[in-house]
Amino acid sequence: MRMILGKVGRLDRSVSSQLFTFGRHVPRFIWKIFEYSGDGIVWIAVSIVVLILGLNSSLDDGVQTLKLSSELGKDAVIVGVNLLLGLVIDLCEVGLLKWIAKRPRPVYNSISNDMNVIVSVDAFSFPSGHSSRVSFLAQFAILLGHKYLAHGLIITWALTVAISRCMMGRHYLTDVIAGLALGYVTLLALTYGSMDREVFKVNAEAMIRISSFEMSRSL
């Protein structure tokens, strides 16, 4: 078993190094665009903005409550709540696994010296947080929608962001593969294992009730 793992590790490092070498032929800013498109801070901000836009704060008989302003508002709240919950779950999963594995990033990652501040303090490589995040985002979007043409574009974006992690030298290939698989686990956790989008409504309604209760207590 140890011999097999050793061979897999060497193959992983070899393929990852080749991907990085190939990636250097592509202008760096292109890879950076994909990197930022899968950034956790960006998507957490997006989820909060969507949630705020969907909620309408009002006064009802002197008691401040949260109500949904329209059908569009309801959809926005459902998306915002579940997107934020999923991203938090993803962050916890990735953080725990990185703490357990403590796998250093590829040595050639330091060549570029262009990691943002948040990522730069994260010295561990397994699993790839970007890969797990875009995997969750893609599957979340597909579960929400019915437009199959958009599905292809979403999957293409997610896979491109994932493989760009090797092209940029940020991760080994196995980090990326593990991250993509972890995104599926995140969606399973968010839907309590059902993979049913109706659960998204349940999550949103629960968060609204909790928020309304906390707001009424504070008055």
DSSP-derived secondary structure for 38-54? T-HHHHHHHHHHHHHHH
Q: In this predicted structure, what is the pLDDT of residue 111?
A: 74
Q: 47 vs 207, which has greater pLDDT?
A: 47
In this predicted model, what pLDDT tens digit does every residue of 59-75 receive, in sequence order?
343 334 445 556 667 78
What is the per-residue DSSP string for 103-124?
A: PBPPTTHHHH----HHHHT--B
In a domain, 86, yes or no: yes
CATH of the domain at 80: 1.20.144
Tell whether the model's pLDDT for residue 214 goes beyond 60: no
Of the pLDDT bands very low, low, confident and very high (cuts 50, 70, 90), residue 85 is very high
In a domain, 13, yes or no: no
The residue with tokens 């949260």 is 66
What is the spatial distance between Cα 131 and Cα 16, in angstroms, rounded to a whole number? 15
Alpha carbons within 13 A on the beta-carbon side of 10: 5
Q: What is the mean pLDDT of residues 80-88?
A: 95
Percent of the chain residues topping a pLDDT of 90? 57
Tell whether the model's pLDDT for residue 79 goes beyond 70: yes
In this predicted model, what pLDDT tens digit does every residue of 168-208 receive, in sequence order?
999 999 999 999 999 999 999 999 999 888 899 888 888 87
Tell whether the model's pLDDT for residue 158 goes beyond 90: yes
What is the spatial distance between Cα 27 and Cα 130, in angstroms, rounded to a whole number? 20
Q: What is the mean pLDDT of residues 15-36?
A: 92
In a domain, 68, yes or no: yes
Give me the sign of the Cα torsion angle 61, 64, 70, 71.
Answer: negative
Instruction: Please provide the distance, in angstroms rounded to a whole number, between the alpha carbons at the two ends of the chain.
Output: 62
In a domain, 159, yes or no: yes
In a domain, 62, yes or no: yes
In a domain, 7, yes or no: no
In a domain, 55, yes or no: yes
- How many domains are contained in the chain? 1
Residue 59 bridge partners (DSSP): 64
Pick from 36, 9, 68, 91: nearest CA to 208: 68
Range of the domain at 178: 25-217
Q: In this predicted structure, what is the pLDDT of residue 66?
A: 47
Question: CA angle at residue 160 from 156 to 163, to 5 degrees?
Answer: 140
Q: How high does pLDDT run on average in the chain?
A: 84
Pick from 171, 208, 130: nearest CA to 15: 171
In a domain, 1, yes or no: no
Q: What is the mean pLDDT of residues 98-118?
A: 78
Q: How would you classify residue 203: left for phi > 0, otherwise alpha for psi between -120 and 50, otherwise beta?
A: alpha
Size of the chain in residues: 219
The residues annotated with a catalytic role in the active site are 130, 171
